[in-house]
Amino acid sequence: MVKLRRIWLALGAGWVATVMYLSLMPHPPEPMDFLYADKLEHALAYGFMMLWFCQVYQQHVPRLLVGGLLVALGVGIEYLQRMTAYRVFDYADMLANGAGVLLSVIFIGMGLGRIGIMLETKFFKIAE
């Protein structure tokens, strides 16, 4: 992840900003419509962010830090939602965010934490 590190980090920052915006806007889109769909959306969003940043950070300690920061982000956003008149504070959303991060940690341990390196290696082999 050395060759495209800045791009990976910039795209990841964009994803974090998008999640924050969607979490704090008055009427976010609802792409799924079934009971507890919002919890699945939370888990997918935070799981994706964890998986994304673990492509950049390959060592154990930085990955733990990323996971902790993402969980803190999810908790912080819920408290920010509490301060608005149009969003709802929900402990279950915090749990769903954390579950998404945890599921990504499991998938990363199964080898998905090296997808970025494989893509980058293949991309630069083609470009040569």
In tens, the pLDDT along 18-71 reads 999 999 999 999 888 899 999 999 999 999 999 999 999 999 999 999 999 999
pLDDT for res 3: 67
pLDDT for res 122: 79
Give pTM, 2 decimals: 0.89
pLDDT for res 125: 63
36 conformational bin, left if phi > 0, alpha if psi -120 to 50, beta if neither: left
Given a contact cutoff of 8 angstroms between Cβ atoms, the answer to whether 52 and 75 are in contact is no
Confidence of residue 5 (pLDDT cuts 50, 70, 90): confident
pLDDT for res 120: 80
Least reliable range by pLDDT among 42-56, 71-85, 114-128: 114-128
Residue 2: pLDDT above 80? Answer: no
Q: DSSP H helical segments within the chain, as ranges? A: 5-24, 37-56, 60-82, 91-109, 115-127
